[in-house]
Structure 1
Amino acid sequence: MTDQSALQGQTQVVGAAVRLSGEGPLDGAPEGAPDDVPFVPAGPAAEKRRTRRFRSARWVMLGFIAPALVIYLLMVIVPSLQSLQLSFTNWDGISPDYDYVGVRNYEEILTSGRFWNAVRNTLILGLGSAVIVNAISLGVALMLDKVGRWQGLFRTAVYLPSLVSAFILATVWKYLLNYNFGAVNTFLRDAGFPDWARDWLGDSSIVVGVILFITCFTLGGNTTLIYLANLQSVPQELIEAARIDGANSRQVFRHVTWPMLAGAVTVNMTLAMIAGWTIFDQVMVLTSGGPGFVSETMAFFIYKVGFGEYRAGFGSAAAIVLFLVVIVSTVAANAYMRKREIQA
């Protein structure tokens, strides 16, 4: 590089610095300092200028955040706090008047068989969907990671169900599982297995399992892509070193790949558990909590008693209980799973 080109490069760097900071490279330099001696501003004056620029930038950032923050406070935080207040009342959701009843709503919740049935269903759907979805998604991601040419096509096909809302998918499954004209029972009858045809959504012994299957079908796409992205980020040097040491494919997965997926497991398990705890759309569309109250979940139970039975105070208390369950289970699961995470 010639001296002229080096001088041009220095000039461009200085010009960019002036445009970004609004100050010349020698602003604040002591008088009499030679022009060819580099000077870095320092001292209280320079620190004050940096602090002033930071504060002005911070107020600009807060200005961008403020609209979304105000909406979040009004739509989420304030109603949540109001729900806590209403959980100690007998409000019916319509009348402007209500009385405080203390912890009577919570006492009724803890002694309600219907509520504990909803808790049991929520645990089955929450933990069951989390384990099943993660196991299947990890297997699919491992297969996709081995695909060469058509990986994009298969990845799109796996992800497509996640683009459809749970309400629409539940509606499709409701028609497929209809006892009289559903495609599933029609196929079984035509195939010569009429005894296998069941009232899939009306049989109290299997309805929760059917909802679990449909829930897993809905949640698999996102989970698979998260696993696939982490599989492709595993350092190949570690895999090659393990193979040089004589490890087979199973040993490579157990001792190299699986530990590197710990972060993805934590994320996917947390998301799947939260989705399972708050399942509502599938129950609403498929069974409306029936037959009877057999397939009610905690989220649907809150909706039913709060808006269907006009017991908003009792429903608010149930919502607080659900919130505590989600928080405690999520924090406990994260604390356990993060112990085995490692940095790539």
Structure 2
Amino acid sequence: MISIKNTLVYTAITVILGNIIALLIATLLNANIRAKGFYRSAFYIPTLFSAIVVGFIWSYVYMPEEGLIASFFAKIGLAGWDTNFLGSYSKALYSIIAVDIWKNIGVSVIIYLAGLQTVPQEMLEAGRIDGAGKWKLFRFITLPMLATSVTINITLSVINGLKAFDFPFIMTNGGPGISTNTLIFAMYKMAFTNQLFGKAAALGIISFAIIIVITIVCVLTLNKKEVSA
């Protein structure tokens, strides 16, 4: 079923890519840089807007020929490049995922920042004295200390991905065709478009069970790694 496949792809990308980007941003913002408070606020601001506002804004950004991205490509001499992101079977789902990551990454950044600030500087200094480089310090000291933050962020990302509905509904209405249908969106269409309330209720129970099982497995797995770290 295409909606299940889309939901799993949606979840996998938001979990993996979203957390990698968030951790990278948090690491940069934890460094001694100018205007640190401004940048932290800037990355968090998108989370304050509703999905409806963000969806409409990015629909304009993605608009072919007249949108922000299309205008940018036209100015740099790439006017003929295909910019129909939301109207393409191959691009629509990934374009929506990018918007979801952009909107929600601020929360993950804040959680990682909170974790980074609890890393004892004495341990890092001892590692530097022993000749460890930046990567080894991050891999063997910082990352294990972030185990709790990683668990929280991955769990939240998994739940967010599995219940994805708002952006596919607002930006593409599941299209083109059914290329951006997710599990929850399929349930919505089954109930309110096709009037199949019984099947929609059954799908809702199945969706709830899937989300619960995957979330529990995720939490238990991460907790084991957290203890071993």
TM over 0.5: yes
- Matching residue of 1:160: 45
Choose which of 207, 220, 228 in structure 2 pairs with 1:335.
220
TM-superposed CA distance for 1:294, in Å, is 1.5
Alignment of 1:144-183 (within 5 A): 144-183=29-68
Rounded to whole Å, the distance in 1 between the matches of 2:20 and 2:184 is 25
TM-superposed CA distance for 1:224, in Å, is 0.3
Alignment of 1:139-288 (within 5 A): 139-288=24-173
- Matching residue of 1:289: 174
Identity of aligned residues (%): 35
Report the TM-score, using the length of structure 2 for normalisation. 0.95
SS in 1 for 2:55: helix
Deviations 1:77-102 (A, max 9, x none): xxxxxxxxxxxxxxxxxxxxxxxxxx
TM-superposed CA distance for 1:149, in Å, is 4.3
Aligned-residue RMSD, C-alpha: 1.5
- Matching residue of 1:41: none
Query: What amino acid does structure 2 have at the position aligned with 1:340?
Result: K
Q: 8 Å contact 1:305–1:311 — kept in the other structure?
A: yes
Quick check: which has more Rg, 1 or 2?
A: 1
| 1:303 and 2:183 aligned | no
SS in 1 for 2:164: coil
TM-superposed CA distance for 1:152, in Å, is 1.1
Rounded to whole Å, the distance in 1 between the matches of 2:71 and 2:128 is 51
Rounded to whole Å, the distance in 2 between the matches of 1:304 and 1:147 is 50
Query: What amino acid does structure 1 have at the position aligned with 2:99?
Result: I
TM-superposed CA distance for 1:166, in Å, is 1.5
Count of residue correspondences: 229
Query: What amino acid does structure 2 have at the position aligned with 1:231?
Result: L
Structure 1 pair 192/149, CA: closer, same or farther in 2 (3 Å)?
Answer: closer
- Matching residue of 1:136: 21
Rounded to whole Å, the distance in 1 between the matches of 2:82 and 2:109 is 32
| 1:121 and 2:30 aligned | no
Rounded to whole Å, the distance in 1 between the matches of 2:228 and 2:103 is 31
Rounded to whole Å, the distance in 2 between the matches of 1:183 and 1:247 is 45
Query: What amino acid does structure 2 have at the position aligned with 1:307?
Result: F
TM-superposed CA distance for 1:343, in Å, is 9.6
Query: What amino acid does structure 2 have at the position aligned with 1:304?
Result: K
Deviations 1:270-314 (A, max 9, x none): 001111111111111111001121210011111111111111111
What 5-or-longer segments of structure 1 have no aligned partner?
A: 1-115
TM-superposed CA distance for 1:180, in Å, is 3.8
Deviations 1:84-127 (A, max 9, x none): xxxxxxxxxxxxxxxxxxxxxxxxxxxxxxxx100011011111
Q: 8 Å contact 1:260–1:342 — kept in the other structure?
A: no
Q: 8 Å contact 2:65–2:83 — kept in the other structure?
A: no
SS in 1 for 2:80: helix
SS in 2 for 1:193: coil
Deviations 1:223-244 (A, max 9, x none): 0010001000111222122222
| More deviation, 167-176/191-200 | 191-200
Larger RCO (CA within 8 A; separation ≥ 6) = 2
Query: What amino acid does structure 2 have at the position aligned with 1:153?
Result: F
Q: 8 Å contact 1:259–1:342 — kept in the other structure?
A: no
Alignment of 1:46-85 (within 5 A): none
Rounded to whole Å, the distance in 1 between the matches of 2:26 and 2:125 is 20
Q: 8 Å contact 1:302–1:315 — kept in the other structure?
A: yes
Q: 8 Å contact 2:69–2:83 — kept in the other structure?
A: no
Could you list the structure 1 runs, at least 4 aligned residues long, displaced by more than 3 angstroms after superposition: none
